[in-house]
Each structure stands twice: as C-alpha cells, then as structure tokens.
Amino acid sequence: MIKDICVVGAGKIFQLYHLPAIEAISSINVKYVVDKNFSLAQRIAKDIGAIPLESLDEKIDCNNFFITAPPQYRIEIFNLIKGYAKNIIFEKPVTLTLLEAEYIYEEARENNINVMVAQTRRFFPNLNFIKSLINGNKSEKVNIEVYEGALFNWGTESNYFANKNPDDHGVFHDVGSHIFDFIIFFIEGVLGEEGNGLKLFVEKSYLDKDQNANNSLSHFSFKNNTIEFNVKVRLSRTTSLSNQIIITNENTKLISRSLMSKDLKLMINDLPLLVNVPDFNTSYNLDDVFIDMWSHIYAHIKSNDEFLNPSKIGLKSILKTVGLMQNLIEEKEVQNKLEEIHYE
C-alpha cells in the first residue's frame, strides 16, 4: 500500500538525507513539496515528480506530512494542517520550547493525529549493544560524557542560522536535540520500568549568548533511591572538538567515537579489552540508518494509531527530551566566550 506524503521545507537536510531514504522505500511517495522559496520547491518537485506549493493556506489532498521547516514555524504549520492531517513527522527539534511541544501533543491527541520526530540516533546500530553492556554490569552510579563538534555546520538555504530567535540557542538546539535525546533514550533502555521516579538535578548549564554559539556545556544528573546517572555534555560548532561518548560504570569504561562506530574500546580496571561489535540488521552506513527510520515511520503511518501502538520516536517519548532541554535553558548561565572557561 503506497502512502503519499507532503514535505514542508525542502532544505539540505531533506535533500541529502531524508529524500534518498524515502525514495528507497517504494511504499512512500512524495506527492507535494512545499517551500516559501517556491523556485526551490519547483526544482525538487520536478526532480521527483511531485507537485510544488508555496504555502499550505489551502487544504490539500494529503494527510501525511513531513515538516522540516525551521522550528519557529512549526506551530504555524501544525495549526494549518491539524484539521485533516493523520500523521505528522517533524525533523528535530520538534519545537524550541516545551510549552509548544506540549501544545502539539495535546492537540494531536484531541485530533487523533499520530506525531513522530525524526530522532535518527535512536536507530544507530550500537545503541542496543551498549545498553546490554551496561545492563550486564549495573552499578549505583553511571557516568556519561559526550563531546561533539558540529561537523555538519553548513550554511542553510533558508539562511536559518542568521535569523536571530531568542528561543533558539544555536548548537544547543541543533546538535543537542540529538545528544540529549540519546541520553534520555539510553537511560530508559537501561532501566525500563525501574526508571520511574528519577529526578533531574542541574549542576551547570552554560550557553553562549549568540544564537550561532560555538559552545554549550551541560552537567546534570538523574537520581532516585538506588541509582544515579551523572551526565556531562559539551557541544561546539567548531570541528576541533572530537566526537566522543564515554560511559563509565563501576570499573568499566566504554569509549566510542560515536554510536555509529565499530571501534568501541572497553576498559576494565584501566586495562583495554577488545570489544567484538556484533553485526546488526542496520549497517554502519548513515544512509541505511535513515532508511531504517523511514521504514519504521512507514509502518506507523500504515497502522495510524500511535496511542495503541507507540512508536519509539513518538512525540510522547520525545517530550522527555524537550523537558530536559527546557530545564537546562531555564538554569542557564550566559557567557560570551564559553570556550575560554575552565570547566573542572
């Protein structure tokens, strides 16, 4: 059964990553391409045999939408289509504030709309493997450190990063929406039902003043009576910051360049061990990860019932990520040259 979708926002993220994955799935057809830059919409639509539109002011013959337009337009677009949409997929971040994300969630429930967020890292091949390593050696305290430079810091076709928005905290929202979601999803996967009752404690939250901030630093913990996850996240728009994830659990330290990497390094009592990374259905090719995600999205578009059959990228789950980021924003200290701060 072929499902038609309408794409709202035809920028580089859509062109380079989402479109090839969608085209690889014969059951999904892009029927409309909508962009304020109508010449861009026309060019993309012509290439894929779709119908170009400049706006969604009029109801169209489609009830599945993929919205990649910049986050400040998400509420406006959602309100235009919520009366007839059945499935809506948002590119991350779903919104810039928790209040807006909760509004979309409640309106979606009322209108029986299945909403998902394209959180690609939930489909990275190493995630379940790393969860299993930690599950096999649980302790009272788990330390997570994430360092990531924005290696994909291209200029957007919409000049999005130059459009100042007080709710947009640059690299924190851009890259952080991936990283903080990975942390939430990881903790949930390790704890399962045991995760109920975890409370958030913010130690430090530094952000640069500029929307195009080169740096942010977050230090927080999740705790209950039995376990603590102590987390540090360092993000930068400079490529000089090496992408790295370190998870320490008692005497075990797991180091990975990223969750896409096969070169995992496991340290026990400071002695390195060779980690045999298993084969996965999804390969270590990023294109395959996007295809896996869109196959998952298609399955949920076909079933069209998020509340009976929850998606792992359903908005209800993603709200926890947005809530964490909102807490860090509310606790933030603003700095002009964050890279000069000595953290420890």
pLDDT mean across residues, the chain: 86
Determine the 3-state secondary structure of 176 from DSSP: helix
Rg (CA), the chain: 20
User: Do residues 86 and 134 both lie within one domain?
Assistant: no
Total domains, the chain: 2
Answer yes or no: are the C-beta atoms of 143 and 251 closer than 8 Å: no
User: Do residues 304 and 197 both lie within one domain?
Assistant: no
User: Do residues 161 and 79 both lie within one domain?
Assistant: no
What is the structure's pLDDT at 297? Answer: 95
How many degrees, rounded to 5, is the angle at CA 344 between CA 321 and CA 331?
A: 35
What is the structure's pLDDT at 283? Answer: 77
What is the structure's pLDDT at 95? Answer: 96
Query: The CATH number of the domain where 130 resides is what?
Result: 3.30.360.10
> Model confidence over 151-180: pLDDT tens digits?
555 566 666 666 678 788 888 898 899 999
Determine the 3-state secondary structure of 23 from DSSP: helix
CA–CA distance, 11 with 2 (Å, rounded to integer): 24
66: left (phi over 0), alpha (psi -120 to 50) or beta: beta
How many residues belong to the chain?
Answer: 344
> Model confidence over 131-157: pLDDT tens digits?
877 776 667 889 999 988 865 555 666
- pLDDT over threshold 70, residue 301: yes
Name the amino acid, one letter, at 306.
Answer: E
What is the structure's pLDDT at 276? Answer: 63
What is the structure's pLDDT at 153? Answer: 52
Q: Beta strand 64-67 with 3-8: parallel, antiparallel or unpaired?
A: parallel
User: Do residues 160 and 275 both lie within one domain?
Assistant: yes
Give the mean pLDDT of 22-37.
96
What is the structure's pLDDT at 223? Answer: 93
CA–CA distance, 236 with 115 (Å, rounded to integer): 30
Burial class (CB in 10 A: 0-12, 13-18, 19+), 199: exposed
194: left (phi over 0), alpha (psi -120 to 50) or beta: alpha
Select, from the ranges 80-89, 139-148, 151-160, 330-339, the one with the highest average predicted confidence (pLDDT). Answer: 80-89
Helical (H) or strand (E) element with 322: helix 315-330
Range of the domain at 234: 122-283+323-340
Query: The CATH number of the domain where 40 resides is what?
Result: 3.40.50.720
Question: What backbone phi and psi angles, to 5 degrees, belong to 212?
Answer: -85, 35
Percent of the chain surpassing pLDDT 70: 83
User: Do residues 244 and 151 both lie within one domain?
Assistant: yes
Peptide bond just before 93 cis, omega within 30 deg = yes
User: Do residues 128 and 112 both lie within one domain?
Assistant: no
User: Do residues 87 and 160 both lie within one domain?
Assistant: no
What is the structure's pLDDT at 342? Answer: 41
Answer yes or no: are the C-beta atoms of 29 and 51 closer than 8 Å: no
- pLDDT over threshold 50, residue 341: no
What is the structure's pLDDT at 344? Answer: 35
User: Do residues 157 and 243 both lie within one domain?
Assistant: yes
Burial class (CB in 10 A: 0-12, 13-18, 19+), 46: exposed
> Model confidence over 205-262: pLDDT tens digits?
988 766 565 688 999 999 988 889 999 999 887 766 778 888 888 777 887 777 777 7
User: Do residues 300 and 194 both lie within one domain?
Assistant: no
User: Do residues 115 and 126 both lie within one domain?
Assistant: no
CA–CA distance, 232 with 218 (Å, rounded to integer): 6
User: Do residues 37 and 143 both lie within one domain?
Assistant: no
Q: Which residues pair with 205 in a beta bridge?
A: 218
Structure token pair of residue 147: 């360092």
User: Do residues 133 and 177 both lie within one domain?
Assistant: yes
Percent of the chain surpassing pLDDT 90: 55
CA–CA distance, 317 with 320 (Å, rounded to integer): 6
